[in-house]
Amino acid sequence: MLLAFELSGEHDTIPAAEALACLESINADFKVYLRLDGCLVVDLKNDIKRIAQVLSKRLSMTRNIIVVLGIGGAGEEDILDTVSKADIEPEGTYSIRVRRIKEYSHVNTELMERRIGEIFYRRGAHADLRNPQIQLRVLLTEDKSIFGYIAGSVDRGAFEARKPHYRPFFYPGVLMPRLARALVNISKPEEYMLDPFCGTGGILIEAGLIGIKVIGGDIQRKLLLGAKMNLDFYKINYSLMYQDACRMSLCDESVDAVVTDPPYGRSAAIIAESLEHLLTCSLKEIHRVLKNGKRAVFVSERKIEDLAHEAGFKVVEIHIQRVHKSLTRRVYILEKVTFDFE
């Protein structure tokens, strides 16, 4: 059965990468069916409704998870034909929403919703826009329409409520909760996740909220105290250490995943010979404490491919995020390998 992820559009590549990593983390039996701008469709063999519910509580850069009932062309008559042929007879009340992905389609969505409503009215179904028993959805992408019903929705408001300035301790320049959660999911954590530059604990919060035991380290006492306040506020299972990321007090291969957003050398409080030294040494330490075959997600404003390779990592993915004119984030997905991959 096909499952579609209605992606948030906040980034070109991270939302799909997050969805795929989450599917892999829960051992879903799937393969990619379609990759579209703003929508990912997978062919799923497992219990599709259960998986949709599980993922809706974990994902951040997906709006809705949709059980696909039909895929057709993007023209008006194509859409109506796809809906008409779909194997569904709504029991009880329903709602229908048509959404354009970006500006690919010029279909009048309100008119299309009424025309689809007429199809189900003739079948004896009753619309209820406020409290429907089934929510039907049509996504209009580059050259296709995807029709189905919503099996799970992500509570985006919960991420808004956790924005940094709403936390007990605030410090500027940190990742927003949705991005932090997406990076945590991409790292595919199992039991323990480490952030060696944890700052005020934003990444640790998002990992802890999905049941991961988190370990944070930082060399700034003020930020560690702030992280403790924030982690206690969200009732996270955590350990914090006052330590240099270049000399961590952790055993070899002791964590399942690493996600970190180093301060890029902007803070004078960082004790390091240079930014180059900080990146080189911290990557080597991350490689040391990470278990074999596991992932590290490393955010950097500069290219670190060579440094990652020297530390022993394989670069799996690179996601580019332009924050503003003077800052471009590079999100590196690194994998610890035990063989020569070159």
Domain boundaries, the chain: 2-154, 158-336
What is the reported pLDDT for 341? 44
Mean pLDDT of 94-100: 96
Predicted confidence band of residue 263 (pLDDT cuts 50, 70, 90): confident
**What percent of the chain has pLDDT above 90?**
85
Alpha carbon distance 202, 105 (integer Å): 38
Predicted confidence band of residue 31 (pLDDT cuts 50, 70, 90): very high
The architecture that CATH gives domain 158-336 is: 3-Layer(aba) Sandwich (3.40)
Q: What angle do CA 262, 267, 269 make, to 5 degrees?
A: 105
What is the reported pLDDT for 175? 94
Q: For residues 27 and 272, which has the higher predicted lDDT (pLDDT)?
A: 27
CATH of domain 2-154: 3.30.2130.30
Residue 123 has pLDDT above 50, yes or no: yes
Alpha carbon distance 175, 330 (integer Å): 13
Mean pLDDT of 272-287: 89
pLDDT in tens, 216-229: 999 999 999 999 99
Which tokens belong to 137? 């959805």
Kind plus residue range of the DSSP H or E element containing 145: strand 144-153
Contacts of 126 (CB under 8 A, 6+ apart): 92, 93, 94
Predicted confidence band of residue 269 (pLDDT cuts 50, 70, 90): very low
Mean pLDDT of 131-158: 96
DSSP 8-class letter at 211: T
Mean pLDDT of 135-151: 96
What is the reported pLDDT for 89? 82
Contacts of 104 (CB under 8 A, 6+ apart): 37, 74, 140, 141, 142, 143
pLDDT in tens, 73-82: 999 999 999 9
For the whole model, what pTM was predicted?
Answer: 0.94
What is the reported pLDDT for 265? 52
Mean pLDDT of 126-141: 95
Residue 340 has pLDDT above 70, yes or no: no
CB burial readout 136-159, b (16+ within 10 A) else e: bbbbbbeebbbbbbbbbbbeeeeb
Q: At what angle do helices 109-122 and 76-85 cross, to 10 degrees?
A: 30
* DSSP strand pairing (327-336 vs 290-300): antiparallel
What is the reported pLDDT for 270? 52
Residue type, 164: P
Mean pLDDT of 175-203: 97
Alpha carbon distance 262, 203 (integer Å): 12
Alpha carbon distance 241, 249 (integer Å): 8
What is the reported pLDDT for 267? 52
DSSP 8-class letter at 320: E
Choice among 35-49, 93-107, 257-271 with the minimum mean pLDDT: 257-271
Mean pLDDT of 311-338: 91
Residue 139 has pLDDT above 60, yes or no: yes
Q: At what angle do helices 177-187 and 14-25 cross, to 10 degrees?
A: 50
What is the reported pLDDT for 326? 75
Alpha carbon distance 164, 170 (integer Å): 6
